[in-house]
Structure formats: C-alpha cells, structure tokens
C-alpha cells in the first residue's frame, strides 16, 4: 500500500532567533514503510525552494558569477524510540552554506541518542555562520573551519557525529568534512569530484564528540573545488552513499537533466533519497556497503538500513 512521505522542516534563517535545523518530521503513517519503487509515482510534492525566481545576489552575499540554490529530503529509519532519526542538516542560502551531520548509532547501546548531538551541532554551526557573516563584509567568504570549531565547542549533548559543511564563494565550493558523510560534484552528467570517507576501520567513521576518544575538528579534511554554472552538488549522509553507487547517482541526476531549469532541487533530492531507500531495503542488490563489507571480511548482502539525508544544490549563473 502506497503511503505519503512528509517532507522535513527546513530553515531559512534571517537572524539567530529563527534557527531551525532539520530534524526530520516523523509521522505514524511511516509504519509499514514500503520500498521506494512502490510509491515513486505517487503525487508527493516536496517543499518549495528557498530562493526567489529572480535572484538578487546582494541578498545572499554572492561573490562570484554563480549562486547555489538548494533543497533537501530526509527519510529517518523506522525507530519508535528515536522518531527524529540521528541525521541533521541545514540549508542557509542567504549565506550560501549547507551542511549535514549523522549521529553515530553505536551510542544507543549506552542509552544515548546521538541524534541530539547531531542536531545541536548543526544548529550551532548555523549560528556560527550568522555570527561570522555579521562581523564581515559580504565579499568575504565564510571560514568553515571557524564555523566547525565554534559549533563543536558549543555542542554539549552526549554522543558523536560526522559532519560535512559546504559553502560557495568566488565560484569555488569549499568544504570541511569529518567521517563518512560527503558530497559529489556532477558536471554534464558525470561525477567530477567526490569526497573521501574518513574512518578508523570499516563502519567506524571519524566522529566529533565530547569524549576523550572522540575526534576533534582539526582532523577535518578541507576541500576546495572550482564549480561552473550547471553543476549539481549532492550532499548526503552515509545512508545515501552506502546504498547508491556513483553510476546510479549519475543516472538519477541525468534523468532530470531536461527539467533542471523548471524543477526545484527538492524534487531531485526526493528522488535520490527514495532510490537509496529502495536499495537499503533490498536484500539482493549489490550496494557500496555490500562491497565494503566484503573487503572487511564481513558477509553482508543487500543494502544498509539507515537514516537517509540528501541535499541537492544547483549551481546557477547570475
């Protein structure tokens, strides 16, 4: 039986008091969630894009010839004890910054909900972005390492989380990344850049946290990638990348190439997330997680059930 998917809440922050990090709305209709292929054709309308039809670069502090327009979709895995899931994300288009975090599920064995850590981390990251941008001119790009450091220092919940934050300035995509969340840059239907996974061993990613053994922001990989108008950025947690191969991601993006100009990025984010969900629940499909499991000497077939967060950003010309 097909069901409705309730899109997540979003934030379009204008000041610190309005920060609202995506926590992933949970609805009782998610009970008995069916594979994505069963409802891909349903009339599900993702949320509207947070950008006016006529973009004024002065409103978003753009410093180059391109602008980032983004939307997201989140599917938390079914867990009545943690209905919000453990992923968190934000879209801050007026500052041209987006980010995702994935609370590490292993903490559940100690009765700790890492989703509380990841949500607080992303909230603090967005507060740091606004604090930094208010103290600089619009021609100065956001210092993502300062953002990550400040967010980390102010996050007090127990648990730990991966984090990947991106910004666009001067036609260059900047990123800081810790763990196995990540992003891909797709140009003319082909992935031209994909971030690397940071992990201490299989399925144990680098992770920010307040424990002595947790990683700190200084281990983050700092990345800069030149982008051009027409590029598509796909940012996500491991619920996406563990279940979708690069060629599959390219295929999904290519399928929407004719509608990029009229389609909102949320629609593509939704389609990618649904595809990842379909693979996650399939016990026969050969996924990236299957491949890496076998490399680690672990017998695992099919996908990996996990929270799935996808943010799609189009790089548009001004």
Q: Is 161 exposed, middle or buried (0-12, 13-18, 19+ CB in 10 A)?
A: buried
pTM over 0.75: yes
Domains parsed from the chain with CATH numbers: 16-28+57-236+307-317 (3.60.40.10)
Stretch 171-181: mean pLDDT, rounded?
A: 98
pLDDT of residue 81: 85
Q: Does residue 27 have a pLDDT over 80? A: no
pLDDT tops 50 at residue 1: no
Report the pLDDT value the prediction gives residue 220, as an integer from 0 to 100.
98
Give 47's DSSP letter.
P
pLDDT digit string (tens) for 123-132? 999 999 999 9
pLDDT value, residue 261 = 53
Residue 306 has pLDDT above 80, yes or no: yes
3-state secondary structure of 3: coil
pLDDT at 262: 53
Between CA 14 and CA 127 the distance in angstroms is 11
Give the model confidence (pLDDT) of 208-264 as tens digits.
Answer: 999 999 999 999 999 999 999 999 999 999 999 999 999 999 999 998 766 655 568
Average pLDDT, the chain: 82
Residue 80, pLDDT score: 87
Q: Burial level of 183, CB count in 10 A (0-12/13-18/19+)? A: buried
Predicted local confidence at residue 9, as pLDDT: 37
What DSSP string describes 258-274?
GGTTTS-HHHHHHHHHH
In the three-class reduction of DSSP (H, G, I as helix; E, B as strand; rest coil), residue 37 is classed as: helix
What is the structure's pLDDT at 141?
A: 82
CA 176 to chain centre: 13
Q: d(Cα 308, Cα 9) in Å, to the nearest integer?
A: 15
Cα angle value 12/18/22 (rounded, 5°): 60
CB 182 within 8 A of CB 205: no
pLDDT in tens, 251-297: 999 987 666 555 689 999 999 999 999 999 999 999 999 999 999 99
Q: CA–CA separation, 166 vs 121, rounded Å?
A: 15
Query: Is residue 66's pLDDT more than 70?
Result: yes
- 136 — pLDDT class (breaks 50, 70, 90): low
Q: Which residues contact 103 (CB under 8 A, 6 or more apart)?
A: 86, 87, 88, 113, 114, 115, 116, 117, 118, 119, 159, 160, 161
Return the pLDDT at 79: 87
Amino acid 260: pLDDT? 57
Give mean pLDDT, residues 169-185. Answer: 98
């Amino acid at each position: 039986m097909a069901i409705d998917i309730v899109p997540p809440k979003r934030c379009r922050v204008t000041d610190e008091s309005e920060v609202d990090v995506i926590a992933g709305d949970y609805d009782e209709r998610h009970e008995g969630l069916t594979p994505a292929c069963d409802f891909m054709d349903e009339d599900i309308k993702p949320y509207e894009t947070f950008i006016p039809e006529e973009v004024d670069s002065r409103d978003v502090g753009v410093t180059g010839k391109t602008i980032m327009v983004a939307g997201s979709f989140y599917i938390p895995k079914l867990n009545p004890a943690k209905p919000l899931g453990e992923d968190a994300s934000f879209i801050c288009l007026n500052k041209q910054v987006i980010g995702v975090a994935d609370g590490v599920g292993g903490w559940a064995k100690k009765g700790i909900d890492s989703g509380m850590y990841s949500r607080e981390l992303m909230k603090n990251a967005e507060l740091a972005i606004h604090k930094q941008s208010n103290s600089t001119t619009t021609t100065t790009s956001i210092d993502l390492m300062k953002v990550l450091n400040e967010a980390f220092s102010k996050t007090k919940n127990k648990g730990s989380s991966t984090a990947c934050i991106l910004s666009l300035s001067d036609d260059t995509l900047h990123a800081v990344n810790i763990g196995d969340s990540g992003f891909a840059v797709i140009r003319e239907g082909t992935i031209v850049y994909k971030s690397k996974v940071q992990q201490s061993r299989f399925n144990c990613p680098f992770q920010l946290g307040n424990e002595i053994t947790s990683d700190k922001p200084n281990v983050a990989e700092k990345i800069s990638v030149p982008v051009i108008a027409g590029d598509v950025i796909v940012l996500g947690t491991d619920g996406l990348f563990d279940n979708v191969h690069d060629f599959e991601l390219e295929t999904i993006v290519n399928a929407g190439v004719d509608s990029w100009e009229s389609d909102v990025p949320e629609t593509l984010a939704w389609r990618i997330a649904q595809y990842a969900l379909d693979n996650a629940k399939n016990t026969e499909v050969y996924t990236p997680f299957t491949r890496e499991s076998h490399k680690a000497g672990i017998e695992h077939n099919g996908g990996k059930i996990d929270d799935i967060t996808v943010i799609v950003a189009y790089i548009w010309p001004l």
